[in-house]
Amino acid sequence: MGLSECEREVLQILALNASHHPFASLLSSVRDAVDLTAEEIVAVALARSLREVRETLSPRNTLVRSGLVETEGRGMLMSNQLGFDLLGDLASELVGRMESAEPVFSAFFRPMPEPEGDQMALAHLEQPLARLRALLGQAASQNVPGVNILLYGPPGTGKTQLVRRLAQELGLEGREVNHETPDGTPMDAPHRQRAYQLCQYLLRRASRSLVAFDEIEDVFGQDPLAALFGNTRRGPRTGGKAWTNQMLEDNPVPAIWITNHPEQLDPAYLRRFDFTLEVGHPPRSVRRALMARACEGLEVSDEWLDHMAGIEGLTPAEIQRSARVARLLDQAAHGESAESVITDHLSEQAELQGRPPLAMPRANAALEYGLENLNTEGDVDSVLEDLVVAGSGSLLAHGPPGTGKTALAHHLARRADRPLRKRTGSELISPYVGQTEKNLARAFREARREGAVLLLDEADSFLTDRSGARHSWETTRTNELLVQIEAFSGILVCATNFLQALDPAALRRFDHKLNLRPLTMEQRVRLFERLVERLQPVDASDGCATESARATVQRLDDLTAGDFATVVRGHTRRQGTGELTQEALAEALAAEQRLKPGAGRRAAGFA
């Protein structure tokens, strides 16, 4: 560490004071018996001048600056009467014979492990990772001080593995600040802070090094005692602002900080990071590749992989663990299929973490959603292409229930290879004044952070016409959503069954508007043929029965794709029983139409 002779002597006496009880008692007795400060006692014991000792223990010099020694001036409760504390169990490591220096520091940080061998490239992070590699490579080669990187995102998205892979690819000597002591006890925030300082100091002369600090809420998070007593001002739990400035501006070695909760960090600290990267939930294509890679050697179908890739919020860690469970059970000849084991495992994880349950394939998936089943004015494909290419924009989809508004949003998200975040009125509207506005702002913020397509279903619940508002909260709710739409830089889809209920000002906020209407006669016939092909009624090959059923379907002017999906779900169990006929399917569709508002009314004029 390059300590001076006086610094070594001070470190020795502090180590003895912490580890040798008779000597500690002697120093304590001396301090009680005479009117001397701790520095004066150390100076007498070492036959050094008071000025030398004070200079050695000043915050700007090595012992304190490196984190080896903590002084009572930092506001800490000292464990001895001298008023100085050594870092962790450093005293016990320093006393006695040492074969190498490694055991001294292993309690505080460790060499960065190799990344897991089955890690694959994450296509959605390719561009920011290329910038990060270049930045770290130059900073490490040129020994540029004060370089700090922030990685954030949900747990299980591979942030730690990503850091290890970066260090390996760049040939950097990486160190990770420990979470716990060698005996398994969690390290408290002050000790982790000082361990980081020590690691930085030790590596300051080394070339091409990197320090990683995970769970940085320990350092940057709000002090829980301050919050308990009503002080909601955020700030570092230990060290104060001066130490934070030193930590983020004067560090000699590039540092990567990792957190699951960036919202807990004060903006004053966030702005000091040179580079920030969100490692969020991977998009569908990456989830598909991760799932296929994890399930190599297991008997899974491409159709199943396609469906599992559609599960939003699925993380690489969950995929790896579920595949490992399936592989172990397969080796034990347990008898269950890998698909069943992985599906059950992921379903339990979703329930445990409070996420929506896994959506299993339903009958409407068997009808193979396609844009040809949408009846709307204009070219739908060009509208979607504009949104995908631009990566931003807003779409208002309106029309009767079942015409495919929600399915259109799912199709758009898959086409853009982005996650879909669906929010409904029941999720966002709150009975408490002001809470709905906060929920709306949070929905947009989360979608922006994840790069997701945001679907606001039942948009008429939020964009009500302000001219008819009877309460102030009705107006503020609409105002908030209009502001969010204007500021949103991603892709937004709003769906409503009641276009006339929307505020006129809201219509101007949407770049594209699509009126989804009931199916045309050609679309109805085409879907009915697909329905017959899917369910295989007993008279599927009977031409007369086909013509009769088709004629019935042609007369049902208000049918939607959702009606066909409902009939599939209601008749799938009867498939192969010998009871299902084409006329029964046509009658089921007619029954769906009779349930619609205004059914049975005849339009004026000629048909």
Residue 565's pLDDT is: 87
Instruction: Name which residue leads in pLDDT, 190 or 198.
Output: 198
Question: Which has the minimum average pLDDT: 148-157, 216-225, 347-356, 520-529?
Answer: 216-225
CB contact at 8 A, 93 and 107: yes
Inform me whether the pLDDT recorded for 289 exceeds 80: yes
- Structure-derived torsion over alpha carbons of residues 314, 315, 316, 319, reported in degrees to the nearest 10: -40
Q: Which residues pair with 259 in a beta bridge?
A: 152
Q: Once rounded to an integer, what is the mean pLDDT over residues 477-481?
A: 86
Is 70 exceeded by the pLDDT of residue 78?
Answer: no
Please provide the CATH number assigned to the domain covering 371-516.
3.40.50.300
Q: Please tell me the predicted confidence (pLDDT) of residue 317.
A: 86
Residues in the chain: 607
Please, which pLDDT band fits residue 118 given cuts at 50, 70 and 90?
A: low
pLDDT at 169: 92
Give me the percent of the chain exceeding a pLDDT of 90. 33
Fold of 107-223+241-278: Rossmann fold (3.40.50)
For the cut 90, the answer to whether the pLDDT of residue 533 exceeds it is no
**Tokens encoding 469:** 């508002």
Q: How confident is the model at residue 547 (pLDDT cuts 50, 70, 90)?
A: very high
Same fold, 107-223+241-278 and 371-516: yes
Task: Please state the rounded mean pLDDT for residues 180-191.
Answer: 80
Q: Are 553 and 567 in contact (CB under 8 A)?
A: no
pLDDT at residue 450, as a whole number: 77
Residues 411, 420: Cα–Cα separation, whole Å = 10
pLDDT of residue 381: 92
Q: Is 0.85 surpassed by the pTM of this model?
A: no
Domain positions in the chain are 5-97, 107-223+241-278, 284-353, 371-516, 521-595
pLDDT tens, position by position, 311-329: 777 888 888 899 999 999 9
CA distance 428 to 248: 38
| Cα 236 from Cα 240, distance rounded (Å) | 6
Residue 357 DSSP symbol:
P
Distance CA 158, CA 457 (A): 32
Residue 51 binned pLDDT confidence (cut-offs 50, 70, 90)? very high
